[in-house]
Structure 1
Amino acid sequence: MSPVPKTMAGILVEKLGGPEVLQFKTNLPVPHIKDGEVLVKNEFIGINYIDTYFRTGLYKTALPFIGGKEAAGTVIASQSAEFKEGDRVAYIHDGAYAELTAVPADKVVPVPAELSTEQAAASMLQGLTALTFIREAAGIKQELGVSLGPWVLVHAAAGGTGGQLVQILTVMGAKVIGTAGSPEKCELATKHGAQWVINSRTEDVAARVKEITSGKGVDVIFDGIGKDTFDMDFDIIARKGTLVVFGNASGPAGPVELPRLSAKNIKLMRPVLLSYLTTKEERQEYTKELFDLILSGKVNVQIHNEIYPLKDVARAHSDLEGRKTTGKLLLKV
């Protein structure tokens, strides 16, 4: 392997704000790895909505910081017995918007030979979010035939996490209704496996959900949009339903008066992926299941039609927030 360089390119945030605060730097210091860590040369880096929350200050972190939460690449230095130089790996960890990232070995997973580095980077955060939320938050564990499971609504079903939710729910037999904001995105949600798709810009979503479910409502809602859809969720959820709010694309949802849950005995959750992956065993179990779903062809990792150079991360954030994208956004180093 080549010697570890002293400096690297990366994206530094020194003040909070819009995409313009994402500064491309070419002289950032390379992180030193400690015992139990590996240094990963990133090849593809995932872009997620949570990255915009840290950039704007909705989620707090100390300044300055290097953004990004996931990537895949090659180990170029190791202080762990589990990984050696040259291993292809993927991870979820801070500081991914850079050429090189120091990552604790227990947060790193090997990439199977049959899986491309690009697919691995695109699947980690959103795929594991979808899988753990389906299993843990919604409690959907059974393997069922098509349309024998619960009624489930997925908002933004053409997006990265939304598309993964739809595909995994379909594999598990749920009756899946998706919403999307354009004819093209509706078509993509259908390709993901949603049996019913509602155009949220031109149709009355609540009326259509009640029509599709014959007035019952949906048993589970996965809402990554937040403010714009939250009130409607209470109208269309079924009695004893589970409302899983996991994102703030339109702004934070709530607040909620607890008695609002009582009329239908609703379970309201705001889960976080990493709280389901606190042990090495949990990370390995869920990552193996996700990779198996991808390699078997049951789940397709939909990648946006443009992969952005690292230096163009600000444009990628603008496109993401402007809802100009479908599928997973990636940066190439």
Structure 2
Amino acid sequence: MSKAIVIHETGGPEVLHWEEHNPGEPAPGEVRLVHEAVGLNFIDVYFRTGLYPLPSLPAVIGMEGAGIVDKVGEGVTELKEGDRVAYAGVLGAYAQVRCIPADRLVPLPDAISTHDAAGMMLQGMTARYLLKGCYPVGPGTTLLITAAAGGVGSILCQWAKHLGATVLGLVGSEEKAETARKNGCDHPILYREVDFVAAVRELTNGEGVDVAYDSVGQATFLKMLDCVRPMGTIVPFGQSSGDIEPFDLRLLSSKGSLFLTRPSLMDYTRKREDLLAHAKDLFDVVTAGVVTMRIMQEYPLSDVPQAHRDMEGRKTRGSTVLIP
């Protein structure tokens, strides 16, 4: 019998229990996957606390992993036993072994290990849709990133710089500012020490950025509206500080006819061809050395409660993987 992290109720890190868990047999269209590594992401906290509703309880959370196909269900033709694969966006990753729809899995190129893949799929494909789907970032684009030294932020800085953009990033310490600089952030802004709206305006000669990517939410969203140029774009894609409170849409008009979108990876990769395109672009920039995946923390999967505490306490940087 394999093991998994199971929650029987939503709440704090203490609801995460390391228990025996039977993954069962793969249904038609599924494969059974033996995880070699699992990714840790802030969306896991949203499911743990109940901010994002779970289909039922008890439940296994986690949205990202990589490993080896152990058994193939009826009708699966694209994969076979022994294939190295990875995925993001399918609940149930906090397990040694799981069953998963085959069409949600991406074969891994030889140059990318399952360990690295588990730390890059969700964050890397998120960066891809932010830079190419939500706004066409390219030469001449000026953009702002919150949590610029975090997992998605670190990838965004590197990838956006490669695309020719000027990158501004919010960070909480000088250490994180240095991390952001190494990743290509042209202007790290210490938001605890300065008025970041004023800093952004000064750095853009009063104009504002073309697009702002906000993973923080409640604490930053309204201020981000003042960082964007007229007819610029705001992209909130997370809420690590809490939900964005309801606001009058006329605010977007008064701030300069701003565009607003609240995207999700699941929508941008809903079609298999889109999933494969996102994964290919990510693998291409990683294997070319354009984006360096920095897995900064590693925990045993059984110790995921501590990993959650560290992540929520902003003690983590870059990507984190859990080893089953």
TM range (shorter): over 0.9
What SS does the aligned partner of 1:287 have?
helix
Partner SS, residue 92 of structure 2: coil
Structure 2 CA distance for aligned equivalents of residues 29 and 105 of structure 1: 19
Q: Is the contact between residue 230 and residue 254 of structure 1 (CA under 8 Å) also seen in structure 2? A: no
Question: With structure 1 as the length reference, what TM-score do the two structures score?
Answer: 0.94
Q: How does 1:163-182 map to 2 (within 5 A)?
A: 163-182=154-173
Q: Quick one: which of 308, 317, 320 aligns to 2:311?
A: 320
Aligned counterpart, 2:49? 56
Higher mean Cα deviation, 199-208 or 258-267?
Answer: 199-208
Report deviation, 1:131. Answer: 0.5
Q: How far apart are the structure 2 equivalents of 1:253 and 1:159? A: 20
Q: What residue identity is the alignment partner of 1:290?
A: L
Question: Can you give the 5+ residue segments of structure 1 that lack an aligned partner in the other structure?
Answer: 1-6
Indicate yes or no: 2:33 matched with 1:40. yes
SS in structure 2 of the partner of residue 233 of structure 1: helix
Q: Following TM superposition, where does structure 1 have runs of at least 4 consecutive aligned residues deviating by more than 4 angstroms?
A: none
| Correspondence for 1:280 among 242, 253, 272 | 272
TM-score by length of 2: 0.97
State the match for 1:109 in structure 2.
Answer: 106
Q: Which residue of 2 aligns with 1:230?
A: 221
Correspondence for 2:245 among 239, 245, 254: 254
Matched residues in 1 for 2:236 and 2:24: separation? 35
From 2, 9, 15, the counterpart of 1:8: 2
Which one of the candidate residues 50, 62, 75 is aligned to 2:69?
A: 75
Asked whether the equivalents of residues 151 and 176 of structure 1 are also in contact (C-alpha less than 8 Å), the reply is yes
Q: Does 1:301 align with 2:293?
A: yes
CA distance in 1, matches of 2:37, 2:281: 22
Output the aligned Cα RMSD: 1.0
3-state SS of paired residue (1:189): helix
Amino acid at match of 1:169: A
Counterpart for residue 194 of structure 1? 185
Could you list the per-position Cα deviations for residues 225-261 of structure 1 after superposition, in whole angstroms to 9, with x for gaps in the alignment? 0011011111111101100001110001131211101
Identify the match of residue 245 of structure 1 among 236, 246, 263: 236
Question: What residue is the counterpart of 1:4 in the other structure?
Answer: none
Contact preservation (8 Å) 1:44, 1:72:
yes
1: distance between equivalents of 2:71 and 2:280? 24
Aligned match of 2:284: 292
Q: Residue 60 of structure 1: CA displacement? A: 0.6
Distance 2:25 2:43 in 1: 26
Superposition deviation, residue 52 in structure 1: 0.3
Q: SS of 1:161's equivalent?
A: helix
Q: Which residue identity lines up with residue 80 of structure 2 in the other structure?
A: K
Gapped runs of 5+ residues in structure 2?
none
Deviations 1:178-212 (A, max 9, x none): 11111111110111101110111222211111111
Work out the CA distance in 1 between the residues paired with 2:21 and 2:116.
27
